[in-house]
Amino acid sequence: MEIHHVALRTRDVDALARFYVDVVGLAEIPNAGGDSVWLRAGRAVVMLERAAPGEPGPAAAGMDLVAFATTEEDKRALAARLARGGVAVEGETAHTLYFRDPDGRRVGASTYPLPTRDTVEGG
C-alpha cells in the first residue's frame, strides 16, 4: 500500500491552499467538486477540506506531522519562501525542515532517503 490522499480540515480553505501552493510549492489539481481544494504531492493528493462548524482544529503545538519528500535544492528554496512569508522554521535536522501551516499543523520537508520496496524486501 501507499498513501492515496491526506485530508486536512480547515476553517479557511482558500488561505490554506495559498500557503500550500505559494509557500510549500504543491500544485492545485482538478477535484470532484465541493468545498475543497486538491493538491498534488507526488503520487498522493492533499485534500484541503472545509471544517464543519464546531469541529476542532489541529492540537495546539501538536507534534503530529505531515512531511513531504524533497531535494536539497528545493528544501533551500522552501526555506527562503518561508522566510519571505514570515513563517518560522521550528526545527531543522540534516535532512528535514520543520514549520507550521496557517492552522498550526506541523509540516516537514525532508531529503531523508527512505528505503525502497527492493531494499526492504531484499531486492
Q: Residue 63 is which amino acid? A: M
Instruction: Count structural domains, the chain.
Output: 1
**Any domain includes 38:** yes
**Any domain includes 57:** no
Strand bridging mode 27-29 / 106-110: unpaired
Give the pLDDT score at 33: 76
Give kind and range of the element (H or E) at residue 78: helix 72-84
**3-class DSSP assignment, residue 17:** helix
User: Dihedral, CA atoms, 98, 106, 9, 31, nearest 10 degrees?
Assistant: 20
Supply the CATH number for residue 104's domain.
Answer: 3.10.180.10
33 vs 70: which has the higher pLDDT: 70
Q: Which domain holds residue 68?
A: 5-52+62-120
Strand bridging mode 65-69 / 106-110: parallel
pLDDT of 31 > 60? The answer is: yes
50-100 tens-digit pLDDT: 999 999 999 989 999 999 999 999 999 999 999 999 999 999 999 999 999
